[in-house]
Amino acid sequence: MKYQSTRGGVSGIAFKDAVIMGLADDGGLLVPEFLPDVSAQMHGWVSLDYKALALEVMSRFVDDIPRADLEALIDKSYSTFDDPEVTPVTDLGPYAVLELFHGPTLAFKDIALQFLGNVFEYILTERGAEVNILGATSGDTGSAAIAGVRGKANINIYIMFPEGKTSQLQELQMTTILDDNVHNIAIEGTFDDCQGVLKEAFSDLSFKQQYGLAAVNSVNWARVLAQIVYYFKAWNQLGQPDCFDVAVPTGNFGNIFAGYCARQMGLPIGRLVLATNANDILCRFFNTGRYEREEVQFTYSPAMDIQVSSNLERYLYYLMGSDPDRVRDFMETFASTGVASYPFNTSSLDDTFVASSVDNEATLAQIRSVYDDFGYLVDPHTAIGLAAGAQHRRDGVPMLCLATAHPAKFVDAMREAMPDVGVTHPTLEALAGLPTRKTPMKADVNAVKAFIETGGRI
């Protein structure tokens, strides 16, 4: 399997090179040259545990790592999860909930970043090389990335997060990690500002090459690859229905794009329900064909407080017939004007997706409703997925909702929704009183680059 850029300037590179490149050198995103059809094989995977299933799915995309080595990397990556199923399914009557928060930082990002951290170490050891990982986070990616690479040889990690705009526990999960190779950068601004700095830094190819810049955000294909697996696992756990729908809370479009890839590979997903909070750029795009940036609104679901969704470009590539010129024109128009439109009628958009936006009030109401009806606690992001899923349920079609984080990570929102119900987790309780380290910085690419050049010293 080879990889190519959505913008046409990179092609024919192997998986390991795609991992190290991260963001394509032409500013696009790397995608596989094709999405393999596994419809003839997947019914035989029903009895496989998570690790064995991951090997079957991932090996279709990875042919430059020996199968035995890939198996060892997968085994190491998912041995850190606290549930033997890794991503268990819970039945809530009209819904099935896929719990993706059983990793070390209690968020779905662990599923990809535990794997990516081990793959990075494997490649760097093999090549005798070093990398400086630069990441941007709206909350969960940062802590999961840090947990994936802390203390690993030949890797330094620099995580930018918007100062004061993640939950307090999300920040503590990052800033209490004091390993020498971990550097947290508190950016004055929004997540989109962090993401803008990241893309600008990666666009400086001489800097990227000189300092071995690498990406852990979902711009890195390995992130998407690891997330495809749990869609297949969920289908097995549901009893392999002929068709099922999936509701996905999303801001950066990576999680739901993995579901799209699984569908293209033959998994019988009927519809993907795209659920956003008040930052509804994706919802508006899929309902109108117009991709227009607005001001970021800060909500109870901070990981989705995003107005520029990186992974949409990968989907556009397939939507536009794998035509890099059309993708490049669309993205350049959006970058320069803040708005771009799909060039056909809205009815020609892929009917795989339906989309809804859920505001703060409805998010809290959904948290209360699920607890009252089932005695089950959901975090605000998961609540948005459930609320959107309810709007698009179809008779006779199972609805799977992705639970993306443990509710204890969002104390303020949970207290607002249910002041009399305590929500906690021992992993988070252990953070209280620990020393922290972070470096405040303006949203200035030159300042961030200088910080990397000095090895994390001001």
DSSP state, residue 13 = B
For residue 168, the model assigns a pLDDT of 87
Extract the tokens encoding 10. Answer: 């990179």
**8 Å CB contact between 17 and 7:** no
- What number is the average pLDDT over the span 289-310? 92
C-alpha 27/C-alpha 15 separation (Å) is 18
Residue type (1 letter), 181: N
Report helix, strand or coil for 103.
Answer: coil
Which tokens sit at 180? Answer: 């020498």
Q: Which entry of 16, 76, 109, 409 is annotated as an active-site residue?
A: 109
Burial class (CB in 10 A: 0-12, 13-18, 19+), 84: exposed
* Neighbouring-strand partners of residue 34: none
**Look-up of token digits 């993706």:** 100
* Confidence band, pLDDT 50/70/90 cuts, at residue 351: confident
- List pLDDT tens digits, range 182-211: 999 999 999 889 989 998 999 999 999 999
Q: What is the pTM of this model?
A: 0.93
Whether pLDDT at 171 is above 60 = yes
Per the listing, tokens 């890099």 go with 324
Q: How confident is the model over 394-411, as a mean pLDDT? A: 96
State pLDDT tens for residues 80-92. Answer: 999 999 999 999 9
Distance CA 329, CA 289 (A): 15
Instruction: Give percent of the chain with pLDDT exceeding 90.
Output: 89
Number of CB atoms found within 10 A of residue 436's CB: 13
Q: Please report the DSSP string for 320-370 in residue order.
A: TTT-HHHHHHHHHHHHHHSEEE-SS-GGGS-TTEEEEE--HHHHHHHHHHH
409/301 Cα distance (integer angstroms): 11
Averaged pLDDT of the chain: 94
Residue 348 has pLDDT above 60, yes or no: no
Q: How far apart are CA 184 and CA 315, in angstroms?
A: 31
Mean pLDDT of 50-74: 98
Can 109 be counted among the known catalytic residues?
Answer: yes
> What pLDDT does 105 receive?
94
Return the closest-CA partner of residue 265 out of 224, 324, 211: 224
pLDDT confidence of residue 215: 85
Half-sphere exposure of 167 toward its Cβ, with a 13 Å CA cutoff? Answer: 27
The token duo for 238 is 């549901």
Sorted by where each begins, the domain ranges of the chain are: 89-105+222-426
Q: How far apart are CA 308 and CA 311, in angstroms?
A: 9
Over residues 345-371, the mean pLDDT reads 88
- The length of the chain in residues reads 458
- What average pLDDT does this structure show over 134-154? 89
Please state which of the four CATH numbers 3.90.650.10, 3.40.50.1100, 3.40.50.1970, 2.40.10.120 is assigned to the domain occupying 89-105+222-426.
3.40.50.1100
Q: How far, in whole angstroms, is CA 266 from its chain's centroid?
A: 22
What distance in Å separates the CA atoms of residue 281 and residue 267, rounded to the nearest whole number? 27
313-319: which pairs have CB atoms within 8 A and are 24 or more residues apart? Answer: 313/6, 313/28, 313/29, 314/6, 314/29, 314/31, 314/224, 314/253, 314/257, 315/253, 315/257, 315/260, 316/6, 317/6, 317/29, 317/31, 318/31, 318/260, 318/264, 319/349, 319/350
Residues 6+ apart with CB under 8 A from 106: 405, 406, 408, 409, 425, 427, 428
Q: Are the C-beta atoms of residues 104 and 147 closer than 8 Å to each other?
A: yes
Q: Which residues pair with 30 in a beta bridge?
A: 5
What pLDDT does residue 345 have?
A: 55
- Mean pLDDT calculated for residue range 280-301: 93
Token pair in block for residue 190: 């929004």
**Buried b vs exposed e over 302-330: b needs ≥16 C-beta within 10 Å?**
bbbbbbbbbbbbbbbbbbbeeebebbbeb
Looking at the predicted structure, is the pLDDT value of residue 346 above 80? no
Tell me the C-alpha distance between 108 and 38, whole Å: 24
Split at pLDDT 50, 70, 90, the class of 18 is: very high
β-strand partners of 425: none
Joined tokens for residue 257: 């794009």
Q: Which residues pair with 155 in a beta bridge?
A: 131
Q: How far apart are CA 284 and CA 173, in angstroms?
A: 33
Would you say 11 and 28 are in contact if contact means Cβ atoms under 8 Å apart? no
